[in-house]
Structure 1
Amino acid sequence: MDSLATIEEEIKKCKKCDLWSTKRNYVPGDGSENADVVFIGEAPGREEDLQGKPFVGNAGKLLTEMIEKIGLTRKDVFIGNVLKCRPPNNRDPTPEEIEACSPYLIRQLEVIKPKVIVCLGRFSASFIFELFGLEFTNISRVRRKVFNVERWGKNVSIIALYHPAAILYRPQLREEYEKEFGVIKDLIGANKKEKKKIKNSTLLDYFD
């Protein structure tokens, strides 16, 4: 039977694409096997490659801050990437790399069975939307919507947000970003005054 630990051990032996030969550390993902919320980025960056943990650079610090603002900690959630190794010079993942590596993420999701999946950036959103049979055009068009699907015998909400690195480059978006994280809090039931489960609703439906 799969567990995050067994999947991590497999990842640390993986040579399914050439990235294993250029990385310093595998970055399997980090967090709780019982997480209600999973955050998924595209690939590890420089700091993640050095430490072997996801989202630990400046973008990771912002993500951690946003998670804590909604009353959670990194230990309460699961944080991972579509790719488990850093592409050289932080280039975009190739389709071949995604095809080789993404089965690990799929298995991690099957173990966790989250209530909410948060896609951080376009590569993550494109992959997750296709996986769950949702139409993806671009991150700007889907990022203000909540998509609800049936999986693992329950409703699963999927949200696409900008990657936190994009917020560092465009700090004027930060206030809106915080509101979008507030929606995550509502979706997992932390805020009991909001229980809306509207199929393909917009994030504005969740704002006071």
Structure 2
Amino acid sequence: MADTALSVPRRSPLAGAAERMADVTRSSGGAVRLAELPFLAQVNVRLDPKGAAADAVGLALGLSLPLEPNTVVRSGELTALWLGPDEWLLVGPPDSQGEWENRIREASGDGFVAVTDVSAQRTTLLVSGARARDLLAHGCPLDLHPRAFGPGRCAQTTLARAQVVLVARDQLGAGFWVLVRSSFAGYLTDWLLDAATEYVRHD
């Protein structure tokens, strides 16, 4: 019997919420924009930032891994998030994780580097618009004022009690990435949609 599993279309964790998110985006007049960025490649990297492998890996990736806590470095389509003194999360285009893993392993040689594909662990919500910070502030304990959490910052935090990685995109107005575990994505999206009703126009 032919294997039909490969013919089944891949379905993102929030595919069923796409229309509701688009409705809020329209009805808020753009004050709040919600969308899923499905299937982004996510690769966790652990290495000694002072070791020789760090420089080699940076060259292979075309960027320097950020060393300042809770900061982001971006080059082309690849974004590196600081998660800890020896831990980073690389985020890239869908299905590119194999390429990044191979580059890191080849560049590190005999150096100690741990590389883990975590792409299936989370999905990514894009939250943007003029009231994006206000929306997130309803459920996030961080100070989200641009002076405290401006473009190029990231943090592991909670949003509506769900564990997330929050990223302020590197341009004002570009909004935020909210990386959330797939099992919590539906709950968090429902919370965001409910909180966003404050900004919906009733013409």
Relative to the length of structure 2, the TM-score reads 0.24
More strand by share: 2
Larger RCO: 1 or 2 (CA < 8 Å, sep 6+): 2
More helix by share: 1
Relative to the length of structure 1, the TM-score reads 0.23
Rg larger in structure: 2
